[in-house]
Amino acid sequence: MAFSTTVSQRKHIKRKAPRGFLKRVFKRQKPHLRLETSGDLLVHLNCLLFVHRLAEETRMNAFENKCGVIKKEHVQAAAKKLKEYGKI
Amino acid sequence: MAEAMADSYNGDSEPTTRTLLRRVLDTADTRTPRRRRSARVGAQKALLETPSSRRLSSPTKMNVRRHSHRVRSIGRLAHVHTSGNVEEQTPRTLLKNILLTAPESSIMRPESVVKPVPTPQVVQSSRRDSSRGSLELQLPELEPPTTLALGLLAPGRRKQRLRLSVFQQGMDQGLPLSQEPRGNASASSLTSSLNLTFATPLQPQSVQRPGLARRPPTRRAVDVGAFLQDLRDTSLALASPGDSLRTPVATLPADTVLEDTQPFSQPLVGRSPSGYHSLTCLSHTEVEDAERAVSLRTQSSGPRLQNHNPGKPAELLAGKAKKVDAHAVSFPNNSSAISGEDGVEPLQDGVDEEAEERMEESLSVSEVMDTTGTQGSVRTEKSKRHREMSEAVEAKEPEGSSGDEDISGRRASPELASSTTEFLQARQPQFLEPALPPSTAVLSSEPLEPLPTRLPPRARTPGPRPRQDPHKTGLSHYVKLFSFYAKMPMEKKALEMVEKCLDKYFQHLCDDLEVFAAHAGRKTVKPEDLELLMRRQGLVNDQVSLHVLVERYLPLEYRQLLIPCAFSGNSVFPAQ
Quote the ipTM score. 0.88
Q: What is the CA radius of gyration of chain B?
A: 39
Q: Which of A14-18, A19-23, B34-38, B372-376 has the lowest mean pLDDT?
A: B372-376
State whether B527 and A42 contact (CB < 8 Å): yes
Residue B516 has pLDDT above 90, yes or no: yes
pLDDT for B496? 87
pLDDT for A12? 63
Nearest to B97 by CA among B7, B174, B32: B7
Min Cα separation A86/chain B (Å): 6
- pLDDT bracket for residue B222 (50, 70, 90): low
Name the closest residue on chain B to residue A3, using Cα atoms. B555
State whether B556 and A2 contact (CB < 8 Å): yes
* Contact yes or no for B175/B166 (Cβ under 8 A): no
Task: Using a CB–CB cutoff of 8 Å, tell me whether A8 touches chain B.
Answer: no
- Over residues B491-506, mean pLDDT: 89
- Over residues B431-440, mean pLDDT: 45
- Interior angle at CA B479, CA B478 and CA B485, nearest 5: 90
Residue B575 has pLDDT above 70, yes or no: yes
Task: Using a CB–CB cutoff of 8 Å, tell me whether B485 touches chain A.
Answer: yes
Helix, strand, or coil (residue B524):
strand
Task: Using a CB–CB cutoff of 8 Å, tell me whether A34 touches chain B.
Answer: yes
Measured CA to CA, the distance from residue B155 to residue A31 in angstroms comes to: 60
The per-residue pLDDT of chain B, averaged, comes to 58
Residue B525 has pLDDT above 80, yes or no: yes
Residues of A in contact with B546 (CB under 8 A): 42
Name the closest residue on chain B to residue A77, using Cα atoms. B497
- Over residues B440-468, mean pLDDT: 55
- pLDDT digits 0-9 by tens, B91-126: 888 888 888 887 666 555 555 544 444 454 444 544
- Interior angle at CA B283, CA B289 and CA B442, nearest 5: 100
- pLDDT bracket for residue B69 (50, 70, 90): low
Measured CA to CA, the distance from residue B109 to residue B181 in angstroms comes to: 7
* CATH at A47: 1.10.20.10
Max avg pLDDT among B35-44, B205-214, B403-412, B491-500: B491-500
pTM greater than the 0.80 cutoff: no
pLDDT for B91? 84
- pLDDT bracket for residue B232 (50, 70, 90): confident
Task: Using a CB–CB cutoff of 8 Å, tell me whether B359 touches chain A.
Answer: no
- pLDDT bracket for residue B227 (50, 70, 90): confident
Q: Which of A66-80, B3-17, B230-244, B424-438 has the lowest mean pLDDT?
A: B424-438
- Over residues B233-248, mean pLDDT: 56
Max avg pLDDT among B233-237, B265-269, B413-417: B233-237
Measured CA to CA, the distance from residue B345 to residue B246 in angstroms comes to: 30
Nearest to B530 among A20, A46, A70 (CB): A46
Q: Which range of residues forms the domain containing residue A59?
A: 20-27+38-85
- pLDDT digits 0-9 by tens, B345-365: 444 444 444 444 444 444 444
Q: Could you give the number of structural domains in chain A?
A: 1
Nearest to B69 by CA among B108, B105, B44: B105
Task: Using a CB–CB cutoff of 8 Å, tell me whether A60 touches chain B.
Answer: no
- pLDDT bracket for residue B70 (50, 70, 90): low
Output B201-206 pairs: Cβ under 8 A, ≥24 positions apart: B202/B146, B202/B168, B202/B171, B203/B138, B203/B139, B203/B142, B203/B143, B203/B146, B203/B172, B203/B175, B204/B135, B204/B138, B204/B142, B206/B146, B206/B149, B206/B150, B206/B168
Residues of A in contact with B534 (CB under 8 A): 42, 45-46, 49
Nearest to B18 by CA among B32, B3, B7, B31: B7
- A72 in any annotated domain: yes
Residues of A in contact with B551 (CB under 8 A): none
Name the closest residue on chain A to residue B548, using Cα atoms. A45
* Contact yes or no for B421/B252 (Cβ under 8 A): yes
- A50 in any annotated domain: yes
Measured CA to CA, the distance from residue B508 to residue B516 in angstroms comes to: 12
Peptide bond between residue B574 and the one before it cis (omega within 30 degrees of 0) = yes
State whether A33 and B517 contact (CB < 8 Å): yes
- A11 in any annotated domain: no
Backbone angles phi, psi at B555, to 5 degrees: -70, 170
Residue B537 has pLDDT above 60, yes or no: yes
Q: How many CB atoms lie within 10 A of CB A85?
A: 11
Residue A53 has pLDDT above 50, yes or no: yes
Max avg pLDDT among B281-290, B336-345, B483-492: B483-492
pLDDT for B340? 41
The secondary structure of residue B325, as a DSSP letter, is T
- pLDDT digits 0-9 by tens, A21-46: 888 888 888 899 988 888 889 999 99
pLDDT for B213? 64
pLDDT for B515? 92
Give all domains of chain B, ordered by start, each with its CATH number. Answer: 470-524 (1.10.20.10), 526-565 (1.10.20.10)
